[in-house]
A and B are shown apart, each in its own frame.
Chain A
Amino acid sequence: MNKTNRPIVLEAKGLTKRFPGVLANDNINLKLHQGEILAFLGENGAGKSTLMNMLYGLYTPTEGEIWIKGEKVEMSNPGDAIDRGVGMVHQHFQLVPVMTVAENVMLGSEITSGGGRLNMRKAIQNVRDLSEQYGLAVDPTAVIEDLPVGTQQRVEIIKALYRHADILILDEPTAVLTPQEANELFRIMNDLTAQNVSIIFITHKLKEVLSVADRIGVLRSGQMVGTAMPEDSTETSLAELMVGRNVILQVEKSPSKPKEPVLQIQNLHVRDDRGHASVEGVDLEVRAGEIVGIAGVEGNGQRELVEALTGLRHADSGKIIIDGREITHFNPRQITELGVAHIPEDREKHGLVMPYTLSDNMVLNKYFKAPYAKGVIMHHDKIDQNGQVLVKEYDVRPPNIHALAQNLSGGNKQKVIVAREFSTPTKLLVAAQPTRGIDVGSIEFIHKQIVAQRDQNVAVLVVSAELDEVLGLADRIAVMFDGRIVKILSAAEATRERVGLLMAGSEA
């Protein structure tokens, strides 16, 4: 329904933000009405986070005005925004991993009993009350780094509520959430709007926008290129508005022609970092020329499974066979040498060396081989050529092989990794969360590449918390729950509902 007749709680007039060399936001105007959900779409690097950071007092605008609840505000730091009831859940979580939920929530607005002594008991109680009031189910005494991302997400929301925010900014909150967690979040958002909280909601997922937004704003390269109402928009229309060209959202692929098995996993057992059993007897087979997707709520052993396959984590028991060779106790180098490509789940932690140039990053998996190196001597001309080719072929932006990886947007970071991994002759491709946090344009591109690999008889294992991604890509879908593969379905028999139930652990 239309809420534009309600009072305006937040307004931006001609907001502009310039970074050295970049015009991140260009004369942006927006109005947020009480109790409405205003969604923002835009490619990676379009300027969404920048805009939000200005509204939250984190960045100071180069030009323009911000009005909150009818008064013009000059904010020098987030404290000012918080005082005016603005809360923000950041794209990259702003939680101290080694501290407890309660500590994180009260940080900055601590409850103290005389002499600055922290009153933990009271703080814990407050968090309990809040999580009950909004049905957020969070244990105040848990340590953040032990919590699944979904829960961390809710902690961020509690942080805002704890500060009595009635204007809530959510920057890509669903990027890391499973469908279940996302739906949970939308329920919470609706409860909040019912209590007159106003929400700005940023996402790359068009479905979500259509289902929860009251209004939609679209940013492209720093400019507001249009607003839309969900009722008279479609995913395609939004995608087009966002990318500036027409985008194919469904993965186009011919039916698979599976050949000989390339990857065989037999009764595999793996422990997680804390030494707890995490993969418990997985059996799985991936054949050349097919894409097997592993669906599952995060934290059910997918990460450990992938790390075991790629030699980053050693297996307790069981067998991993690639191309007929048992590789259970091989190291990552030996496994890569067998023709295994790996798109790691965490691009910043495993996938890239941030202070390296693009061309150096693009040989991470082959720097020691001819023609890039002869003996121990590296050949930088060859390495740069390689970079040039891949940057062009995979449309990495900026197309400068000497740019540092740390200055790329997530989307482009991901493209660099994909380019590198696809550029070596491959028998098996292991892709973990290949499109997390990435805009539709890039997603379309990466999906195309994965399918192309399959069609060249590569065996592909895709692990994704993104149900749609798995459903769209996979020829066979293995649902993982509690460290086991609970069911393997063919693309045909796999419906959203059925897989969703299996993921939730209920036998279907």
Chain B
Amino acid sequence: MTTAAVPKARSRGDYAKIIGLIFGVLVLIGIIYGYITNPVTTTAVLASTLRQSTPLVLGALCGLIGERSGVINIGIEGQMLMAAFIAFLANVYTGNLFVAVLAGFATGAVLGAFLAFMSVTLKMDQIIGGTVINILALGLTSFFYQTGLTTQGKMQPIPLGPLADIPLIGPIFFDNPPITYTTLILVMLVHYVLFYTRWGLRTRAVGEHPSAADTVGINVFKIRYINVIIGGGIAGLAGAYLTLEAVGSFERAMTNGRGFVALAVMIFGKYTPFGAWGAALLFGFATALQTQLQFAGQLEIPHQFIGMLPYLLTIIVLAGFVGRTRVPSAVGKPYEKE
């Protein structure tokens, strides 16, 4: 009896996938066409796409590791900013970029621990916890930052030998600075850990149904703490990316809302690493594209409208193809043992 229904059962979700697929194919064709007609620009735009997406992907990974275990993290912005600042100072005073990256990671992790303390131990509302971190980071970094500190430069791209010479692909994927490579690896690593390992299974269980996990002897609090801390570290990496790889110096409030965009990217990507990566690339592409359109200067459209491109595109794709995102059931709820 059910079989009869199946064809008609093809719901919005299904053909949204199909449209999404078509959309993807069109993008691909567009890229190839662009590459044939104007290789230099196309490569430039795509390279910029990856670059713009990097802090967003890292931020989104931070968010989803936490939320998969049931803890909302809207403090990504603050974690990034504080980490960017400390990484910058470490770079200034040690001059060792590796140490600086570690400092950034550690800073993010510490703020992660603070968030976990607030939302797991104090059972504070998780949205408040994240907001506290955002304001605190903004205040402290602006208060303690002073100019005149100069770094010993920033991380430079490391071409991966022959790979870097592959046309189109090479310059985009295989000629990047370290944190960008790390990001690409992290996307795959997080995906693997989340869906193929014991830790991932427990994390998802805790995020969906903590008492079920508890009743089989899993320590819900421990899992949440560790996830949120590691997530914080990854957000810290995003901060380090800003000061050590993208810019090479720090400025007050330099995250400029990227933490929040990362949040959007995470939900957009349906709480999956590759989804988030895709969403971030889409956003980065739109940003690079709007710059390119201004470069070209041909269009008569006022640049503010070109500037809207990334945000409009996000909304359209979200409303049109992605639709409702299933949020981990236990997210936002402190776990009460008794």
Contacts and interface: CB of A to CB of B under 8 A. Distances in A.
Contacts of A59: 338
B160 interface: no
B81 to A, nearest CB: 33
Interface in B92-112: none
* Residue of A107, A112, A271 most packed against chain B (CB within 10 A): A107
Contacts of A77: 214, 217, 219
B334 to A, nearest CB: 15
B215 interface: yes
Contacts of A276: 1-2, 5-6, 9
B238 to A, nearest CB: 26
A96 B217 contact: no
* Residue of B5, B208, B217 most packed against chain A (CB within 10 A): B217
B155 interface: no
Nearest to B6: A276
Given A77-B219, A109-B216, A94 B209 contact: yes
Contacts of A275: 5, 8-11
Contact of A99 (B6, B11, B198, B208): B208
B201 A277 contact: no
Interface in A99-121: 99, 103-104, 107-110, 112, 115-118
B197 interface: yes
Contact of B1 (A58, A109, A115, A482): A482
B199 interface: yes
Contacts of B198: 110, 112, 116-118
Interface in B207-239: 208-209, 211-219
Q: Chain A, interface size: which category?
A: 35 or more
Nearest to A94: B212
A280 interface: yes
A292 B298 CA distance: 75
A96 B69 CA distance: 13
Nearest to B7: A275
B216 A78 contact: yes
Contact of B5 (A79, A82, A88, A271): A271
Interface string B113-145: 000000000000000000000000000000000
Contacts of A98: 208
Contacts of B87: none
Interface residues of B, number: 31
Interface string A154-170: 00000100010000000
A12 B281 CA distance: 60
**Main secondary structure on A side of the interface with B:** loop
A274 interface: yes
B204 interface: yes
Interface string A450-461: 000000000000
* Residue of A116, A163, A274 most packed against chain B (CB within 10 A): A116
Contacts, number: 92
A82 B217 CA distance: 8
B338 A280 contact: no
A108 B218 contact: yes
A79 B217 contact: yes
A107 B214 contact: no
Contacts of B197: 112, 115-118
Given A56-B215, A78-B216, A94-B211, A274 B9 contact: yes
**Main secondary structure on B side of the interface with A:** helix
A159 B219 contact: no
A90 B217 CA distance: 14
Contact of B216 (A97, A159, A483): A159
Nearest to B195: A118
A107 B213 contact: yes
Contacts of A116: 197-199
Given A19-B338, A110-B198, A271-B5, A96 B215 contact: no
A281 to B, nearest CB: 11
B62 interface: no
B295 interface: no
Contact of B212 (A79, A82, A107): A107
Contacts of B196: 117-118
Contacts of A109: 216
A95 interface: yes
A80 B6 CA distance: 47
Interface string A261-289: 00000000001001111001000000000
B260 to A, nearest CB: 27
Interface in A107-163: 107-110, 112, 115-118, 159, 163
A143 B72 CA distance: 26
B36 interface: no
Given A58-B215, A88-B215, A97 B209 contact: yes
Contacts of B219: 77
Contacts of A56: 215
A56 B214 CA distance: 11
B4 interface: yes
Given A118-B198, A483-B1, A90 B208 contact: no
B282 interface: no
A97 B276 CA distance: 24
B288 interface: no
A474 B4 CA distance: 34
B205 interface: yes
Contacts of B212: 94-96, 104, 107
Contacts of B211: 94
A84 B116 CA distance: 32
B202 interface: yes
Given A110-B201, A271-B5, A276-B9, A78 B215 contact: yes
A277 B4 contact: yes
A414 to B, nearest CB: 22
B9 A107 contact: no
Interface in A31-88: 56, 58-59, 77-80, 82, 88
Contacts of B201: 99, 103, 107, 110, 118
B208 A108 contact: no
Given A96-B212, A97-B208, A107 B5 contact: no
Contact of A78 (B2, B202, B209, B217): B217
B132 to A, nearest CB: 24
A132 B82 CA distance: 57
Given A59-B338, A117-B197, A94 B11 contact: no
A280 B2 CA distance: 11
A308 to B, nearest CB: 16
A275 B205 CA distance: 28
Contacts of A78: 214-217
Contact of A90 (B8, B204, B215): B215
Contacts of B8: 275
Interface string A330-366: 0000000000000000000000000000000000000
B1 A107 contact: no
A118 B202 CA distance: 11
Nearest to A80: B217
Given A58-B215, A277-B5, 15 more contacts: A19-B338, A77-B217, A82-B217, A98-B208, A107-B205, A115-B197, A118-B196, A274-B9, A275-B5, A275-B9, A275-B10, A276-B1, A276-B2, A276-B5, A277-B1
5 contacts: A94-B209, A95-B209, A95-B212, A98-B208, A276-B6
Q: Which 8 A-B pairs have the closest CB atoms?
A: A79-B217, A108-B216, A275-B9, A94-B212, A276-B2, A276-B5, A277-B5, A116-B198
